[in-house]
Amino acid sequence: MSHLVPIRTPCIGVCSTGVGDVVCRGCKRFAHEVIDWNGYSQEQKRAIDRRLDIFLAQCVANKFRIVDLPLLNWQLGVQQIRIQAHHDPHSHIFALLKAGAKQIASPELYGFEILPPHRDKSLVVLREEVDEEFWVLSAAHYDRYIATGDLFATGPA
């Protein structure tokens, strides 16, 4: 696995774990992942990165559809949006919206479209909804698989 690109921290500098959140509202990692990140192996970091990418891509795909991937990739380059090349392209849409949802008048010129049930909302509102759904999904995952310490316990409780 040493030939793989090192996983960068997903931290965006908006950490809420310091105020008691078990799931960071910024990067959506669990508090213990934020605290222990520098001690994790690349394989452990890759597993966290993969989970976050899957969750974010799912939330974005609930509201947007990629109509022209080469155009989306070109726009990301032109706009100098920092992305993780190994992430799902739906995650790249979120990076684009974070950088400039207010400046995008026609999503189709950026290679994506808003799905019909959400076309009455602005890209700023949709970006905020995706971010909230991403946090809710991460928090639900934490509640189900991390907070439930006895989930995989064997034998009598």
Domain ranges of the chain: 17-141
Q: What is the pLDDT of residue 73?
A: 97
Alpha-carbon gap, residue 22 to 13, rounded angstroms: 16
Give me 26's structure tokens.
Answer: 């910024």
Residue 88, pLDDT score: 97
Residue 115 and residue 63 in contact, taking contact as beta carbons nearer than 8 Å: yes
DSSP 8-state symbol, 114? E
d(CA 39, CA 7): 13
What is the C-alpha to C-alpha distance for residues 43 and 49, in angstroms, rounded to an integer? 10
CA distance 75 to 49: 24
Question: For residue range 75-122, what is the model confidence (pLDDT) as tens digits?
Answer: 999 999 989 999 999 999 999 999 999 999 999 999 999 999 999 999
pLDDT for residue 152? 56
Q: Which residue intervals of the chain are DSSP H helices?
A: 31-36, 42-61, 69-78, 89-100, 123-141
> For 51-60, 110-119, 142-151, which range has the lowest pLDDT when averaged over its residues?
142-151
How far is 29 from 64, CA to CA, in rounded Å? 24
CA neighbor of 99 nearest in space, from 132, 71, 123, 67: 123
